[in-house]
A and B are shown apart, each in its own frame.
Chain A
């Protein structure tokens, strides 16, 4: 990683000098996605440069763990790149408030993004937008098609169907029904609670109501996902209490489990590891025909350094990030990271297609504890990790967990007091 970022920096210097020599404008992109360096250099940047002669772009990533602090230091010192890759919510909001990020809401192509896509990079009241959304991750379930065929079950669409499918797989005995553990705790909240919960609290409607203080976390809509999680335990593998995240991934890709509660970021890894056919199904609804919701979580965006010397070129690039061409390039280079724009992106990966098809059928919502609600102490996101894992293990009842969450939130969040 260090070598890569060094390499990136070296290229930046090199290309920068070429840029000056030919009087072109050079834009430097700050990013934590050093895994994507080659995709940017070989696919995305050449496509942009071909269309926009006179603008050179350099992708200069930093190691993910150092990104936030390195970026802050560079912004303070005035040495940061022209374009800044934005973390969702408070990470970027604080940069905007400190005057480091310019507004981008007036770009032409911002019209291609919906409200949820913009929410990750807007001020709390939504009046200013400071990054162009790039990609999100979608939650659902990945399943082993061979296993489903062998046991003779079909893809469930309702919660009852989901549990009867799990029961049949368990009765059959050749597969572990659900490949998830609670040792690392975060899967319980991310792929458990937030994944299945959107159908209960009706996505954005419930999430916004909690932020506004109109709904409490003890409301039945927020207790019901816990109640469903409480029934997951018996269908998880032996000793799931000590099963870690990589354990679950391996268990599924080795073909020992039938269903994997997933985030779409698993797609490329699973494609490489598993030698059986995989499919994906979305979160089952309570009753057949109910309106459906999915957890479609905003993850990454691109903004403009307010101190850039080339604001016009930077805005040109950002506008291009909102275009159909970029959406297509990005989504197909990184299956599992879906474009947040409304463009119809043609994806070649069948599993990624499964995931993204739900957007047409259901309403998207982000994880409930990311915007605003995780600003205080106790931290709502961390608390959801712990309580969701507790509920699955049975050391907390759904009601106790919800009461605990509400008490924690109310202790610092004024609208809930």
Chain B
């Protein structure tokens, strides 16, 4: 033990203060505000405390819980499509683009990334037009190659609408995993690849055995970003299908369900208290998912010093 006391390190607090203040004001405070809101109910302009009654209604009332589970299941499917299509596709495109022999790499990279920076309103509207059975180019294009029978009014069919929207979203955002993986692939030192070549590991097996393990942390980050993004999704469904998320709620995800509950829709008045309860559940779902990833996967992931 030393008798020498360390001076108080003021600078730590000062340096942290701006971020802590901003984060508290815009994230922590509203979060607790939402929690508080969800514990009250309003009727006849009177607000009263009801504890967890809103949550009981949300899960206990067959109509509320039916709508909630429908939205959750749809949301999970939305996420599954992204994980199965968007991320593998992103990795594949990045792997192809990182091949130094490929010409026009810069062009492909930009072209594939471009939709990411477009507004969801434009994307939703453009795809609605492309797939329109009346004026869309999709039916005509399929007809030109003799595949007209493949066309259906995808966005209007209960069985296809959600998958179609998920694929539109994949089209828009595939540039993000592509860019992240591309950067990770470029950071792999040439020596490692060459050492592999000396040992006889080339081509496809070099990708599987050397590159893929090295980019796994990046894939992990992409997965969690996809998860958070998908369970917060709202905009594309709202732009393409409206707040009722038709047909027959087939494209209703948690975001649109929250919107209708909180803000109301047409003749249905909004219920901020019930909406806050839905928002809390969404928060808990995302929190659980992130925790599972953080403690279950990321901490056990092997990292290689390059």
Contacts and interface: CB of A to CB of B under 8 A. Distances in A.
B255 interface: no
Contacts of B133: 237-240, 242-243
B162 to A, nearest CB: 14
Of B139, B241, B249, which is in contact with the most chain A CB atoms at under 10 Å from its CB? B241
Interface in B218-255: 241-242, 244, 246-249
A41 interface: no
A365 interface: no
A251 to B, nearest CB: 6
B289 interface: no
A183 B63 contact: no
B154 to A, nearest CB: 7
Contacts of A390: 247-248
B48 interface: no
A390 B248 CA distance: 7
Nearest to B45: A98
A379 B243 CA distance: 14
Contacts of A98: 45
A251 B248 contact: no
Interface stretch (B87-95, B262-270, B278-286): B262-270
B215 interface: no
Contacts of A239: 132-134, 139, 152-153, 156
B244 A242 contact: no
A180 interface: no
A241 B153 contact: yes
B268 A243 contact: no
B246 A386 contact: yes
B63 A381 contact: no
A242 B268 contact: no
Contacts of B139: 239
Closest CB pairs A-B (n = 9): A239-B133, A241-B156, A242-B156, A242-B153, A239-B153, A379-B268, A381-B267, A241-B153, A374-B267
Interface string A245-258: 00100110000000
Contacts of A378: 63
B170 interface: no
Contacts, number: 95
Interface of A: 90, 98, 181-186, 237-244, 247, 250-251, 369-370, 374, 377-379, 381-382, 385-386, 389-390, 393, 395-396, 408, 411
B63 A242 contact: no
Contact of A386 (B131, B248, B267, B271): B248
A379 B132 contact: no
Contact of A182 (B128, B152, B156, B249): B156
B157 interface: yes
A389 B267 contact: no
A243 B134 contact: yes
A65 to B, nearest CB: 11
B261 to A, nearest CB: 9
B267 A242 contact: no
Contacts of A385: 244
8 contacts: A185-B246, A239-B132, A240-B156, A243-B133, A244-B128, A251-B134, A382-B267, A386-B248
A184 B156 CA distance: 9
Contacts of B248: 386, 389-390, 393, 395-396
Centre residue among B128, B134, B154 by max chain A CB count within 10 A: B134
B265 A242 contact: no
A243 B153 contact: yes
A178 B45 CA distance: 45
B156 A243 contact: yes
Contacts of A238: 133-134
Contacts of B128: 244
B155 interface: yes
B102 to A, nearest CB: 38
Contacts of B140: none
Given A183-B247, A377-B268, A382-B265, 16 more contacts: A182-B247, A183-B156, A183-B246, A184-B246, A239-B133, A240-B133, A240-B156, A241-B153, A242-B132, A242-B153, A242-B156, A247-B132, A250-B134, A369-B267, A382-B244, A389-B248
A378 B274 CA distance: 13
A385 B131 CA distance: 23
Residue of A90, A98, A369, A382 with highest tally of chain B CB at under 10 A: A382
B63 A408 contact: yes
B194 interface: no
B197 interface: no
Nearest to B158: A395
Contacts of B158: 393, 395
Given A242-B133, A386-B248, A183 B155 contact: yes
Contact of A382 (B135, B156, B266, B271): B266
B134 A237 contact: yes
Nearest to B265: A382
Interface in B134-186: 134-135, 139, 152-158
A71 to B, nearest CB: 15
A386 B134 contact: no
Contacts of A241: 153, 156-157, 247
A381 B128 CA distance: 26
A242 B131 contact: yes
A59 to B, nearest CB: 26
Contacts of B266: 186, 379, 381-382
Contacts of A370: 267
A389 B247 contact: yes
B54 to A, nearest CB: 12
B46 to A, nearest CB: 13
Nearest to A256: B134
B246 A411 contact: no
Nearest to A247: B134
Nearest to A248: B134
Given A238-B133, A374-B268, A184 B242 contact: yes
Given A243-B133, A382-B266, A389 B63 contact: no
B142 to A, nearest CB: 12
A387 to B, nearest CB: 9
Contacts of B242: 184-185
Contacts of B244: 185, 382, 385-386
Contacts of A185: 242, 244, 246-247
A367 to B, nearest CB: 10
A93 to B, nearest CB: 12
A237 B266 CA distance: 27
